[in-house]
Amino acid sequence: MPPSRSPLSRQSIVAAMTELLGRSAVETDDELLRQASVDRFKKYTAVHGIFDGPIPAAIVYPSCTADVAAVLRWAQENLVNVVPRTGGTATEGGLETVVDDSLVVDGSRMNAILTIDPVNMMAIAQCGVRLQDLEDTVRAYGLTTGHSPQSKPLAQLGGLVATRSVGQFSTLYGGIEDMVVGLEAVFPDGTVTRIKNVPRRAAGPDIRHVVIGSEGALCFITEVTLRLFRYQPENNRYFGFLVDDFADGVAALRELITAGYRPSVCRVYSPEDARQHFADFYQGKNVVVLVAEGTERLAAATAEAIEELFKDRPHERVSSKRIQDWFENLNWGQEKIDAEKADMLENSRLGYTTEVSVDWSRVSSLFDAVMNRIRAEFPRIADVTMLGAHSSHSYQTGTNLYFVYDYEINCVPREEIEVYHKPLNAIIVEEALRFGGSMVHHHGIGKYRTPWTRQEHGSAYYLLSTLKQAFDPNGVMNAGTIFPPDQDAGRDPERRP
Ligand SMILES: Cc1cc2nc3c(=O)[nH]c(=O)nc-3n(C[C@H](O)[C@H](O)[C@H](O)COP(=O)(O)OP(=O)(O)OC[C@H]3O[C@@H](n4cnc5c(N)ncnc54)[C@H](O)[C@@H]3O)c2cc1C
């Protein structure tokens, strides 16, 4: 049973929202509400016009922090489930409205860039600013956010912070958690919290991390301050190498990173995955991609280390131009998403991903274990047309593995998620946890990985569930996200009194 079921009718919820925000800020169009009940941009049922889940009562568009506070306070008092939304590019079910008559609170009209501060290297913007717009604005100052997820043209600051997103240049610039200086968020009782912008502090735990990654399950993010970096693409050097073994590629990345170098891009693709990106030159091999970036001297030093790294390793070289061209077409706008949906509909097939992370010493074992288990156990293996992985974000202690899988769909659309995505996703998640890694590297837990939240955190789940209890005691924030429904709010059976 969903945790927060309001005694109010849809009509009273809509009437209350109209009174609070005005008619133009409340959307009740049937088709828009149906679409707002799902996120998975690859949701096979939605592409077929099937929307089986609970449909929200309304989408509301706050125009300021006070609006958000008024909506959240009202929702908490009336036990109405709230699903925060900004760019709508979530992939793990975070936007799915699993409770009847939810309110989708869409921050995309709060889209002002408030301050660009080139002296203190910060940009302050509201939650509904698209990352691409912020990036274009700061570039005019010769600066960059350094954040470049493939969803950059569509994703907005609220969602990017709420999911702990990571960009393609993360090895140099960090994930969003390294970029957020301060922020403003509204909690379900209407409290507006501002975490101030300071370079660092030792004034207790880092409370930014209560909000970063909270996936709309604790609060609504209204404003974000990001740090900025100099933009100097003229110094970029692009590298591509073909290697025989995936493990060799991973070992090369490890050597470079643990030696202290920070190429902005640091990737290795298995041959199956490489084929979909580099068909014209991968020659059936693993592809290592590296980019040296930064000041002229820093980029040159990183480039020199990369050359040295491959001097005595068996490899074939790929031209820099090919790697650079590939990068320039990597991001996803609405056009690519629409084309993929059309392809799904026409050809009954789907490509999906599950990203995890693990220590350096266990990367190859995890890769092999996933490949072997899927091949041996997945009952529809004959429908899987591609199964591969890449490592695309590396750290001093380990890296991520981004598993990719394409399958032909030989079942009715309604069953696709149960027959294909869930079992494939489950094998990858289970293996990542078995090898001591994390079940999710950057897409967030959403609703699809909640069965493993407790296992992911172990004894630290106490901290996580206490946050939910403290900040969302009525369980109205994005029910079913991060926290499995039976563990939402006060319903965690294992929590101490
Ligand atoms: C084609 C494609 C490529 C992608 N590439 C990447 C990538 O390279 N790296 C990466 O990390 N991710 C990637 N993603 C996943 C997704 O884009 C990111 O997770 C992104 O951060 C979501 O931002 P959004 O504004 O679209 O958020 P939404 O989809 O609107 O929401 C995402 C989650 O955040 C919550 N949320 C949204 N706004 C707020 C708010 N204001 N306050 C509190 N909670 C909120 C929602 O409830 C939901 O749980 C990709 C997705 C797609 C479709």
List pLDDT tens digits, range 53-88. Answer: 999 999 999 999 999 999 999 999 999 999 999 999
Q: What pLDDT is stored for residue 308 in this prediction?
A: 97
413 Cβ inside 6 Å of ligand 1? no
Burial of 233 (0-12, 13-18, 19+ CB in 10 A): exposed
**Cβ atoms of residues 409 and 328 within 8 Å:** no
Closest CA to ligand 1's atom 36:
159
**Cβ atoms of residues 459 and 451 within 8 Å:** no
215 Cβ inside 6 Å of ligand 1? yes
Q: Quote the ligand 1 centre to 314 CA distance (angstroms).
A: 39
Q: Quote the ligand 1 centre to 283 CA distance (angstroms).
A: 34
216 Cβ inside 6 Å of ligand 1? yes
Q: Quote the ligand 1 centre to 304 CA distance (angstroms).
A: 36
Q: Which positions ≥6 away from 228 have C-beta within 8 Å?
A: 116, 118, 121, 122, 123, 138, 141, 143, 144, 145, 146
Q: What pLDDT is stored for residue 211 in this prediction?
A: 98
What is the spatial distance between Cα 268 and Cα 255, in angstroms, rounded to a whole number? Answer: 13
Q: Quote the ligand 1 centre to 89 CA distance (angstroms).
A: 5
Closest CA to ligand 1's atom 41:
158
Query: Which single residue is written with the structure tokens 């020199």?
Result: 304
What is the spatial distance between Cα 159 and Cα 442, in angstroms, rounded to a whole number? Answer: 12
pTM: 0.96
What is the spatial distance between Cα 279 and Cα 282, in angstroms, rounded to a whole number? Answer: 6
3-state secondary structure of 14: helix
Q: What pLDDT is stored for residue 1 in this prediction?
A: 37
What is the total residue count of the chain?
A: 497
The pair of three-digit structure tokens given for residue 268, joined into one six-digit string: 């290795």
Pocket test for ligand 1, best of 165, 214, 440 (most atoms within 8 A of CB): 165
Q: Which positions ≥6 away from 45 have C-beta within 8 Å?
A: 38, 51, 52, 413, 414, 416, 417
484 Cβ inside 6 Å of ligand 1? no
Q: Quote the ligand 1 centre to 244 CA distance (angstroms).
A: 35
Query: Which single residue is written with the structure tokens 């921050």?
Result: 107
The pair of three-digit structure tokens given for residue 270, joined into one six-digit string: 């298995």
Pick from 196, 59, 63, 208: nearest CA to 128: 63
Q: What pLDDT is stored for residue 133 in this prediction?
A: 98
Q: What pLDDT is stored for residue 488 in this prediction?
A: 53
* pLDDT tens, N- to C-terminus, the chain (497 residues): 344 578 899 999 999 999 999 999 999 999 999 999 999 777 899 999 999 999 999 999 999 999 999 999 999 999 999 999 999 999 999 999 999 999 999 999 999 999 999 999 999 999 999 999 999 999 999 999 999 999 999 999 999 999 999 999 999 999 999 999 999 999 999 999 999 999 999 999 999 999 999 999 999 999 999 999 999 999 999 999 999 999 999 999 999 999 999 999 999 999 999 999 999 999 999 999 999 999 999 999 999 999 999 999 999 999 999 999 998 888 788 888 889 889 999 999 999 999 999 999 999 999 999 999 999 999 999 999 999 999 999 999 999 999 999 999 999 999 999 999 999 999 999 999 999 999 999 999 999 999 999 999 999 999 999 999 999 999 999 999 999 877 654 455 454 43
Pocket test for ligand 1, best of 96, 163, 391, 482 (most atoms within 8 A of CB): 163
Q: What pLDDT is stored for residue 492 in this prediction?
A: 52
Q: Quote the ligand 1 centre to 157 CA distance (angstroms).
A: 9
Pick from 76, 77, 92, 31: nearest CA to 56: 31
Q: Quote the ligand 1 centre to 27 CA distance (angstroms).
A: 21
Q: Which positions ≥6 away from 449 have C-beta within 8 Å?
A: 92, 425, 429, 439, 440, 456
